[in-house]
Amino acid sequence: MPEEADFETAVRDYAPRLLALARLMLGEAHEAEDVVQDAFAKAWARWDDADVRAHALPWLLTVVKNRCIDLGRVRTPDVGFERLPEKPAPPPPDEPVHTATLDQVIEAVRRLPEPYRTVLLLRYSQKLAYEEIAKATGVPLGTVKSQISRAVRLLRAEINP
């Protein structure tokens, strides 16, 4: 069946991206794999829907991020929220620029409150355009931009206070 072939292609093409997103959000390898498998099971159940097939990647990314948010909420509600100031005071100009490692950045992103964690990952890990993020998260374009700006500020405070 052509639909089954489409689904198989979608699984092979998108599983690496969905897994990357789930691992970045959750950190737990097994949990991330379960989330990805469940997302594909949901997609398969709705594969008759031409809309789902036509927008399979954003649809799957949305399912994965929603599930990860739910799991994160159960595991660590309200993580580190109060430690993030509105605008960090800049360090003295003569202090050398300390560049955080990728692992440090990933850890800090994971600690960000929602929706900042998600928008940052959709933008920088999944390279989605702002318009695509707006569709995936269901918020206006302007809000997405302000969320990303705020997310960077929060991350900056978290990494290099």
Instruction: Name the residue nearer to another protein (CB basis): 16 or 131.
Output: 16
Shortest distance, position 144 Cβ to another protein, whole Å:
11
- Residue 7 exposed, middle or buried by CB count within 10 Å (0-12, 13-18, 19+): middle
Shortest distance, position 31 Cβ to another protein, whole Å:
12
Residue 25: what residue type?
Answer: M
Instruction: Name the residue nearer to another protein (CB basis): 135 or 139.
Output: 139
Shortest distance, position 48 Cβ to another protein, whole Å:
8
Which stretches of the chain bind another protein, using CB under 8 A?
Answer: 4, 7-8, 11-12, 15-20, 23-24, 33, 36-37, 40-41, 44-45, 47, 78, 81-82, 86-87, 90-95, 97-100, 102, 105-106, 109, 113, 115, 120-121, 124-127, 143, 145, 147-150, 152-153, 155-156, 159-160
- Cα dihedral 61, 66, 70, 73, rounded to 10, equals 90
Q: Alpha-carbon distance 96 to 110, whole Å?
A: 26
Instruction: Name the residue nearer to another protein (CB basis): 54 or 77.
Output: 77
Shortest distance, position 22 Cβ to another protein, whole Å:
9
Q: Alpha-carbon distance 76 to 25, whole Å?
A: 12
Shortest distance, position 50 Cβ to another protein, whole Å:
16
CA torsion sign for 66, 18, 130, 48 is negative
Instruction: Name the residue nearer to another protein (CB basis): 55 or 143.
Output: 143
Structure tokens at 42: 């949901």
**DSSP code per residue over 89-130:** PPPPTTSPPPPPPHHHHHHHHHHSPTTHHHHHHHHHTS---H
Instruction: Name the residue nearer to another protein (CB basis): 42 or 135.
Output: 42
Residue 24 C-beta-side C-alpha neighbours within 13 Å: 27
